[in-house]
Amino acid sequence: MLPFVQENMPEMLLQPARLAFCANLHVGRPRDDPTTLVLARNLKFYEFRRKDLVHYIDLKVTKLKQIATQLEAYDGPVCPFLSKQEPTDEKVDWSMLDPPEDLPLKFGKFVWQREGIYLLIQCWKHLVVLKRPKDHGANFELVADHKDVVDYQMVEGPIPFQAVVELEFGNGKRQRCDFQEDFLNEEPSTSKNAGLPAKDFENLLQEVHRAQAELDSQRMQNQKEFAHVQDLLYFGTPGQRSLLLEEKQPLRRLGDVWTRICGDYFVCGTLLVNITGTNRLTIVKELYPIVVIEPHTDFSVEHRLYELPLQADGQPPEDYDQLAQFWACQDQHSRRLKWRPVEKERILPPERSAAMVVSLRLVDLLEAEKLILMATYEMGEDASPRQIHLITFDVKKLLDKTESLAPTFSPATLHQDFLAVIMTHTARCSLKLEFQSAQDCTTFEQLLVSTLQFQLIQAQEANKEPTSDLLDDSEPGSHFQSSNIAADPVQRIFYNRQPQSQWCDTLLLRDDPGKHWHVYARTDDRLRLLLHRLTRDLLQLHCNLNVLEVAEHNMSPADMEMELLNSLFEEMDAWKVLSEPAASVEQRREQLTQLHKAQMASDVLASMLFTDDDDDDDNGA
Q: Where are the beta strands (DSSP E) in 461-584?
A: 471-474, 489-495, 507-511, 516-521, 545-551
Which helix (H) or strand (E) element contains residue 563? helix 557-579
Q: Please confirm whether the linkage preceding 238 is cis (ω < 30° from 0).
A: no
Q: Answer whether 104's CB lies under 8 Å from 76's CB.
A: yes
Q: Answer whether 450's CB lies under 8 Å from 442's CB.
A: no
Q: What is the pLDDT of residue 286?
A: 87
Q: Is the pLDDT of residue 564 over 90?
A: no
d(CA 206, CA 213): 11
d(CA 40, CA 21): 7
* pLDDT category of residue 187 using cuts at 50, 70 and 90: very low
Q: Answer whether 356's CB lies under 8 Å from 342's CB.
A: no
What is the mean pLDDT of the segment spanning 468-475?
38
Buried b (16+ CB within 10 A) or exposed e, 446-461: ebbbeebbbbbbbbbe
d(CA 148, CA 126): 6
Give me the residue spans of the domains in the chain.
Answer: 3-177, 196-235, 246-408+415-420, 425-554, 558-620
Pairing mode, strands 489-495 and 455-460: antiparallel
Count of H helices and E strands in the chain?
10, 26
Write the pLDDT tens digit of every residue in 487-535: 444 578 888 888 888 888 888 888 765 577 888 888 888 888 888 888 7
Share of the chain above pLDDT 90, in %: 10
- Return the ∠ at Cα 38 (arms to 36 and 44), rounded to 5°: 145
Write the pLDDT tens digit of every residue in 199-218: 677 888 888 988 999 999 99
What is the mean pLDDT of the segment spanning 362-373?
89
Buried b (16+ CB within 10 A) or exposed e, 189-205: beeeeeeeeeeeeeeee
Task: Please state which of the ranges 241-245, 399-403, 443-447, 601-605 shows the lowest mean pLDDT.
Answer: 241-245
What is the mean pLDDT of the segment spanning 73-85?
75
Q: Is the pLDDT of residue 343 over 80?
A: no
Q: What is the pLDDT of residue 94?
A: 54
Highest-scoring range by mean pLDDT, 40-54, 174-188, 373-387: 40-54
| Between 295 and 479, residue with greater pLDDT | 295
Q: What is the pLDDT of residue 324?
A: 47
| Between 614 and 564, residue with greater pLDDT | 564
d(CA 428, CA 520): 5
Q: What is the pLDDT of residue 140?
A: 92
Q: What is the pLDDT of residue 367?
A: 87
Q: How many CB atoms lie within 10 A of CB 97?
A: 14
DSSP, res 376: E
Pairing mode, strands 370-379 and 427-435: unpaired
Q: Give me the CATH topology for the region 246-408+415-420.
A: Immunoglobulin-like (2.60.40)
- Return the ∠ at Cα 535 (arms to 532 and 541), rounded to 5°: 135
What is the mean pLDDT of the segment spanning 114-140?
89
Query: What's the one-letter identity of residue 254?
Result: L
Q: Which of 496, 491, 494, 411 is nearest to 459 (CA)?
A: 491
| Between 479 and 66, residue with greater pLDDT | 66
